Every structure is written in C-alpha cells, then in structure tokens.
Amino acid sequence: MPFLELESNLPASQFSDQLLSKLCCAAASILDKPKERINVTVKPGLLMAIGGSTAPCAQLVVSSIGVVGTAEQNKQHSAKLFEFLTNELGLAPDRILIRFYPIEKWQIGKNGTVMTFL
C-alpha cells in the first residue's frame, strides 16, 4: 500500500485531477503495485526552498511496504519517478527531491485493523 506525497511551491493551478491519476498509474507501474493500493496526496503552493533557492521546486515522499527498502530498488524507482516528475511538472531534476521510506505492515491501519492481519 504505497503512499506518495507530492509537495511543491508551484501554484495549485498547475496540478490537475489528471496529474493525480497519472501519478497514481505511474507509481503503480514503477513500484509494481496494484493501482487500487496507491494513495496520492498533492500539496501545492507551499513555501519551499531547495538548496537555499525558492525557485519552483517539488519533493516527493514515497512510503511503501517491501519495495523501497534497498538502494538498488530506490535507484531504479528514482530514475523513473524523476522522468515522470520532470515531464509533468516542467522542473529540472535539480529542483526535485525524492525521499523513500520503507514501512512495515503493522504500521498501516485499514478497516479497523492493520495490514498485518489483512
């Protein structure tokens, strides 16, 4: 059950429902998870700086069970996610950061229990 949180100082007008759908589909493909399990949040218009610059930028946080736990996995995911984000947001790669967080089944609650028991 991957969670993607895209934060940016770009205005909300640059983020459409289509972008949410595209990011969901891209994440499902990249992380090899069913689309129905992908959760996406987009937070536009934030006060942000990367490397001390407030020029347009974005950061993506990817949390998931079993698919973001190694450098080798994340290197592959990073390349594909950067390709998607640079194309969709029109940002240079040096204005995007991605943080990967592996999570365990017991850390996600669903349907009154945790994923461990589902």
Chain segment 19-73, per-residue pLDDT in tens: 999 999 999 999 999 999 999 999 999 999 999 999 999 999 999 999 999 999 9
**pTM over the 0.75 mark:** yes
Q: Is 102 a catalytic residue?
A: no
Q: How far is CA 10 from the centre of its chain?
A: 16
Task: Point out the catalytic residue in the list 2, 34, 44, 93.
Answer: 2
Q: Report, at the CATH architecture level, how domain 3-117 is classified.
A: 2-Layer Sandwich (3.30)
Question: Could you give the CA distance from residue 56 to residue 3 in angstroms, rounded to a whole number?
Answer: 23
Question: Could you give the CA distance from residue 57 to residue 94 in angstroms, rounded to a whole number?
Answer: 9
List for the chain the helix, strand, coil content (%; round to 5). Answer: 40, 30, 30
Q: How far is CA 23 from the centre of its chain?
A: 8
Q: Is the pLDDT of residue 97 over 90?
A: yes
